[in-house]
Amino acid sequence: MKTILVCVTSDLATDNRILRHCELMHQMGFRVHLIGRILPWSPPMPVLPYPVHRVKLPFLKGPLFYLSYQCWLFFFLLFKKADIIWANDLDTVLPCFLVSKLRRHMFVVDSHELFTEVPELSKAPIKKSIWKFIEKHLAVKANIFITVNQSLAGIFHEKYGIDPKVVRNVPKRVELASAHTKNRIGIPEGDLVVVIQGSGINKGRGLDETIQAISGLSDVSLLVIGGGDAIDEAKQKTIALGIQSKVHFIARVPYLEMMQYTQMATIGLAYDADPCLNFYYALPNKIFDYFQAGIAVISGPQPEISGLVSTYECGYLMKQISPESIRWAIAFYQKHPALLATHQRNSKKASETEHWDLEKKALEAILQDL
């Protein structure tokens, strides 16, 4: 029975990809130890059959956070017995790589995004060069390199000549409870409800443009479910536009409860406004949540998302992300309820194949090799 130390910088309680992976590792007979951090607003962890360690650091973001976490994680791993160290994303790679070399452990990297192309690094060339160095000289030296979609796998192959394994961030197929009622949060019964959700609703993810679009529509309410650095500014914008009654913010909640809110909607929004490569090639798990909820999808030109929407004929594809195009797409569905109903049905059909029971076979094969 081999021991895997799974390292992340996220708040573990709502990191469903990590929890799915660890559950499968445990089921296949590995001793799993999950390592992450706890934030002031972190919800409690669910009961899990393996140990979890969450560190509380004095810094929540920025260079001091990364420096303190790297140092803490290095010494934590150095004195832990293990066979495999599993680094999730570039911000855990340095300590995981160093300890794997010192202790001769197998080293696995699971890259959830194109970390060196996030918007925060676009105007920080020194920081970007540091992360690129870690990617080029440490991350791609892993015994196994995993990423979340074929687009990213192709980029890593072209840049470094490696052949990443692909395990998409697809949710479990679960029995969903009934949707919450509209009057639970004050939505008029006749309103068309659209939803945007995610644990990282940050600047550049399209929330600002969406709120501007909603301000020009009648009989439409917006649900914003999750957290991120764009939320506070978005709340202020709703006040400035006088549309507080049309936009409803739901903080991070456990997955099944989140889906009760998501099912209140008839349209799910899946696009990013910032043109950075990390967003352009993303395949966020919310698209699969929309399938599970059986709601139509409005997306942009991002290839991974638009490819799914086109394949299943379950939504509307915008050529660009702007308040005007978002407003037009939502109004289009208001005028064509029969097409909206068809896209909802097709979305539900997509959930019959786009779920973890099928996707986990890719991870099972990787773990079997280990």
**Residue 47 CB neighbour total at 10 angstroms:** 5
Q: Are 39 and 60 in contact (CB under 8 A)?
A: yes
pLDDT tens digits for range 136-148 = 999 999 999 999 9
Model pLDDT, residue 352: 95
In angstroms, the CA 106 to CA 108 distance is: 7
Coil/strand/helix, residue 37: strand
Model pLDDT, residue 309: 97
For the domain spanning 3-170+356-369, the CATH number is 3.40.50.2000
Cβ neighbours of residue 254 closer than 8 Å, sequence gap 6 or more: 14, 43, 46
In angstroms, the CA 359 to CA 298 distance is: 24
For 161: left if phi > 0, alpha if psi spans -120 to 50, otherwise beta; the answer is left
Mean pLDDT of the chain: 94
pLDDT reading at 76 higher than 90: yes
pLDDT reading at 220 higher than 90: yes
Model pLDDT, residue 85: 98
Alpha carbon of 293 to those of 10, 28, 100, 268: distances in Å? Answer: 25, 30, 41, 9
Q: Are 98 and 137 in contact (CB under 8 A)?
A: no
pLDDT tens digits for range 278-299 = 999 999 989 999 999 999 999 9
The full DSSP string for 89-113 is SGGGHHHHHHHHHHHT-EEEEEE-S
Look at the block and give the residue holding tokens 């995981």: 96
For 242: left if phi > 0, alpha if psi spans -120 to 50, otherwise beta; the answer is left
In angstroms, the CA 171 to CA 54 distance is: 23
pLDDT tens digits for range 156-200 = 999 999 999 999 999 898 899 999 999 999 999 999 999 999 878
What is the bridge-based pairing of β-strands 84-88 and 3-11? Answer: parallel
Q: Are 296 and 343 in contact (CB under 8 A)?
A: yes
* Confidence tier at 83 by pLDDT (50, 70, 90): very high
Q: What are phi and psi of 231, to 5 degrees?
A: -70, -50
Global confidence as pTM? 0.90
Helix H or strand E segment including 64: helix 62-78
Share of the chain above pLDDT 90, in %: 85
* Confidence tier at 11 by pLDDT (50, 70, 90): confident
Model pLDDT, residue 147: 97
* Confidence tier at 253 by pLDDT (50, 70, 90): confident
* Two domains, one topology: 3-170+356-369 and 182-350: yes
Does CATH number 3.30.300.30 belong to domain 182-350? no
Residue boundaries of the structural domains of the chain: 3-170+356-369, 182-350
* Confidence tier at 6 by pLDDT (50, 70, 90): very high
